[in-house]
């Protein structure tokens, strides 16, 4: 059950509601927005008595019963779309957002070339890992803080917001000083300590689906971040592990409309990790636009043959530019369908 307080309810009025909920023996998670406080109530058993009691309190605007195990992120809680403003761009809004850049930050020359190239081709944010989750302990682990500093330089040169991965709750404060979006990698989708820390980080989070994470588990992980205080979560389908070996992962394209039915959060597609092969990235990106993703996050490297990680799935700058040009008519259709959705929502 979710309780929306009236606008500008006082601290005392909020505390009265919390006390009333506690009286019925339920747990409270509250999100304090600038104008409105929203209180999530979680507990076992029938909440009817508690719901009726709270509903009659004058400072309460609305109480909604939510049957899904994820509450704040569910469509039942908020029927529309969540729009997240980051560094002058909006995710989940009227624009299809392309984030692009190398798998890893490798050098100043590499990241500056990548940033300038992707910005010129129309990307709205720069991706690049400074802390890298690698299958082998002997592989390059990332440039860490030096890499974050290079991302900051690339942002200063191009104006692009930065998306970069955080692997541990211990690194959240450091990375939040440089990142516009904190990326949670597939391998950390259920790192609950990290998710809880990101609830308090004050920056939007891009939460990638785990290699064997179900859609419901992905939503429960998003719920962790929101329940701990951060409503700005972007979900990302990046392929799941199946018996198929021709592609690096199996792109679960249907996850995108499925998520759009279940949650108000923005949903992006990563066609690079979903396929593992650069030749497949443009077609899968088109599929992402057509199926209604809010954007894509694509690996692009100025010299993919020299990339320290994920070269095989990285586009070079010319191919990225060509892909962006070829996506244009699809994006135009995407934009008209968003407009129709907006009209339908107000009808």
Report the C-alpha gap between 278 and 266 in whole angstroms.
25
Instruction: Please say which residue, 63 or 184, places its beta carbon nearer to ligand PEP.
Output: 184
Phi, psi of 31 (to 5 degrees): -115, 120
| Contact (CB, 8 A) for 161 and 179 | no
Q: What residues numbered 306-335 form the site for Mn ion, per CB under 5 A?
A: 310
Which of 223/299 has CB closer to ligand PEP?
299
From the list Mn ion, ligand PEP, none, partner contacted by residue 186 (C-beta under 5 to 8 A by kind) = ligand PEP
- Interface characters, 252-291, with Mn ion (x: CB under 5 A): ----------------------------------------
Pairing of strands 2-5, 37-42: antiparallel
- Closest approach of Cβ 260 to ligand PEP, in Å? 20
CB of 36 to ligand PEP, least distance (A): 34
β-strands 295-299, 97-101 pairing: parallel
CA 25 to centroid of chain Cα atoms: 33
**Which residue ranges make up the site for ligand PEP (CB under 6 A)?**
103, 129, 133, 185-187, 208, 238, 270, 273
d(CA 271, CA 51): 44
Reported residue count of the chain is 347
**Which 74-133 positions form the footprint of Mn ion (CB under 5 A)?**
103
Nearer to ligand PEP, 71 or 208 (CB): 208
Give least dist CB 212 to ligand PEP, A.
12
CB of 188 to ligand PEP, least distance (A): 8
Residue 238 interaction partner, one of Mn ion, ligand PEP, none, beta carbon < 5-8 Å per kind: ligand PEP
- 13 or 113: CB nearest Mn ion: 113
Structure tokens at 159: 């104006």
Helix (H, G, I), strand (E, B) or coil at 224: helix
Burial class of residue 170 in the structure, from the number of CB atoms within 10 Å of its CB (0-12 exposed, 13-18 middle, 19+ buried):
exposed
How many other C-beta atoms lie within 10 A of the C-beta of residue 184? 25
Residue 237 engages Mn ion in binding (rule: CB under 5 A): no
Shortest distance, CB of residue 313 to Mn ion, whole angstroms?
7
CB nearer to ligand PEP: pick between 41 and 143:
143
Q: Are 297 and 206 in contact (CB under 8 A)?
A: yes
81 binding partner (options Mn ion, ligand PEP, none; Cβ < 5 to 8 Å by kind): none
> Kind and range of the H or E element at 345?
helix 317-346
Instruction: Output DSSP code: residue 49.
Output: H
47 versus 166: smaller Cβ distance to ligand PEP: 166
């Amino acid at each position: 059950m979710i309780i929306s307080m009236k606008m500008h309810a006082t601290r005392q009025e909020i505390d009265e509601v919390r006390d009333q909920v506690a009286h019925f023996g339920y747990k409270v998670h509250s999100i304090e927005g600038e104008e409105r406080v929203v209180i999530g109530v979680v507990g076992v058993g029938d909440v009817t008595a508690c719901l009726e009691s709270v509903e009659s309190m004058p400072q309460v605007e609305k109480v909604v019963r939510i049957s899904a195990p994820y509450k704040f992120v569910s469509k039942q809680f908020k029927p529309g779309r969540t729009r997240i403003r980051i560094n002058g761009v909006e995710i989940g809004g009227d624009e299809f957002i392309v984030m692009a850049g190398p798998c890893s930050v490798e050098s100043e020359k590499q990241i500056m070339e990548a940033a300038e190239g992707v910005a010129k081709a129309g990307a709205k944010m720069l991706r690049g890992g400074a802390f890298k989750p690698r299958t082998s302990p002997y592989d390059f682990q990332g440039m860490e803080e030096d890499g974050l500093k290079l991302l900051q330089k690339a942002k200063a040169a191009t104006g692009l917001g930065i998306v970069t991965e955080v692997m541990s709750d211990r690194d959240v404060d450091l990375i939040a000083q440089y990142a516009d979006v904190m990326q949670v990698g597939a391998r950390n989708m259920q790192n609950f300590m990290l998710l809880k820390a990101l609830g308090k980080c004050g920056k939007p989070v891009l939460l990638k689906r785990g290699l064997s994470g179900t859609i419901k588990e992905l939503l429960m992980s998003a719920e962790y971040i929101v329940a701990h205080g951060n409503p700005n979560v972007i979900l990302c389908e990046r392929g799941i592990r199946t018996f198929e070996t021709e592609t690096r992962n199996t792109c679960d394209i249907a996850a995108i409309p499925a998520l759009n039915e279940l949650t108000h959060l923005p949903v992006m597609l990563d066609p690079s990790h979903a396929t593992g092969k650069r030749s497949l990235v443009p077609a899968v990106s088109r599929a992402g636009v057509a199926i209604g993703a809010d954007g894509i996050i694509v690996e692009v490297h100025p010299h993919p043959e020299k990339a320290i990680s994920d070269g095989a799935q990285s586009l070079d700058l010319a191919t990225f530019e060509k892909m962006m040009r070829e996506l244009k008519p699809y994006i135009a259709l995407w934009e008209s369908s968003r407009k129709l959705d907006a009209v339908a929502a107000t009808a």
